[in-house]
Structure 1
């Protein structure tokens, strides 16, 4: 596979992954905090929760594939920043799959107690996203981007800032239940989710423009 095709497929996969993620969020409404309403909620949204959980499991994998593609294109797989990004990607996937597992546990629970325990674990795992998962992935990835010509350096600096804010807010809101809703974390998470398609689209445009330049150069050479 050519480097150009590899880059295009990785970028398209990342964009699809983010689309899947937003769809999963729209399918999974926030469950009620009142236990008496939870059983009816589970029955009403059972299928939506299962489909949303599936999408939430697949979407990060596509995003991580894009991250791995950046490392490959930047030839950073053996550098410390690249290795740190690989570690961060592993942590990111584990945290995401833990959350999905507890969503599935709540949706398929045979009693209210099991559903409540599963949802409690979901809220606990969501803290891990801001404390470790997001910073561990995007900060070293930003360092890789800054040190390579694969993507504009501004995206690397933006990634480091986003990851650093996640780490800071993860500590600041450590004692605030995620179920209560934290606006600052929600906004920052949305910014990070938009960072990935922006990076993917940037890589896609670069590769398409490079392809046009090569095709134009070949036409000029052929006409000489």
Structure 2
């Protein structure tokens, strides 16, 4: 039996190869633990993990070198940003350089819409009853949000790996309501929410009304 895990990363492909701290460490730690758990419980099953990322428009490491470095990844599927999003994100980057907006502005989250590739859709449809989705952070959801309901039917199980309670991370109070709306929608579209602390777990339950039996606490990872 083949089990496919589709891991929706929140950033571009080259992040897998260039960053080794913060949320990336937490993601890799949870990924290793999840794979160990599945391999231990599902005997004689082949597990493949596919990283779903935003295609980087900058020079980056070749996909093959990233897969070689992160041996648990079977393949990387890159989704292209919509053309209108590329223009907007370019303007946002300029605004950050000029310090017009904060580095933690939620605008980056709201303008990351991608188009689903044919390769991605074909892979999902082939093995729909044995697919697991892992949504890595709020940003791992926003770029597929517009077509997530269409692809959700291809996953037997969906997990939201939270790194922070969404609205508390970003600097702008004007847009936190929108972030909360998106994160609440995400929580309703998955089977399990992985909170980074007991405090966050309580917030998901009280503010988003996520049932407690749907929340698991997986603490943040700190390197020695």
Kindly indicate which of the two structures has a greater share of residues assigned to strand.
2
TM score, norm. by length of structure 2: 0.27
Kindly indicate which of the two structures has a greater share of residues assigned to helix.
1
TM score, norm. by length of structure 1: 0.27
Q: Which has the higher contact order (CA 8 A, sep 6+)?
A: 1
